[in-house]
Amino acid sequence: MKIRPLNDRVLVLRINEGEKTAGGIIIPDTAKEKPQEGKVIAVGPGKVNDKGDRVPLIVKKKDRVLFAKYAGNEIKIDGVEHLIMREDDILGIVE
């Protein structure tokens, strides 16, 4: 299945964190927090401003981004969990 986000929406795949701490302790699935970092899979064409012009997004496909813990809406694409969020929900780009 292919999804193309609309307007200022971004499709993000969460990047999983390691299953061990720095001290070597294995963290069970029930105690893990969802990662707040992801990879941009697809971006919309941009937002339309008051003048009717389309403003392109700053984030691009394949960017690594940071987002808030409860940002976006979770969806499953081919059994893999993704997030669809507004560009405003993205806190920063990891370089």
Q: How far is CA 69 from the centre of its chain?
A: 11
Distance CA 39, CA 82 (A): 10
| pLDDT tens figures, 4-30 | 999 999 999 988 765 555 566 666 656
| pLDDT tens figures, 40-95 | 999 999 998 899 899 999 999 999 999 988 888 999 988 889 999 999 999 999 98
Q: What is the pTM of this model?
A: 0.78
Domain 9-94 in this protein, CATH class: mainly beta
Domain ranges of the chain: 9-94
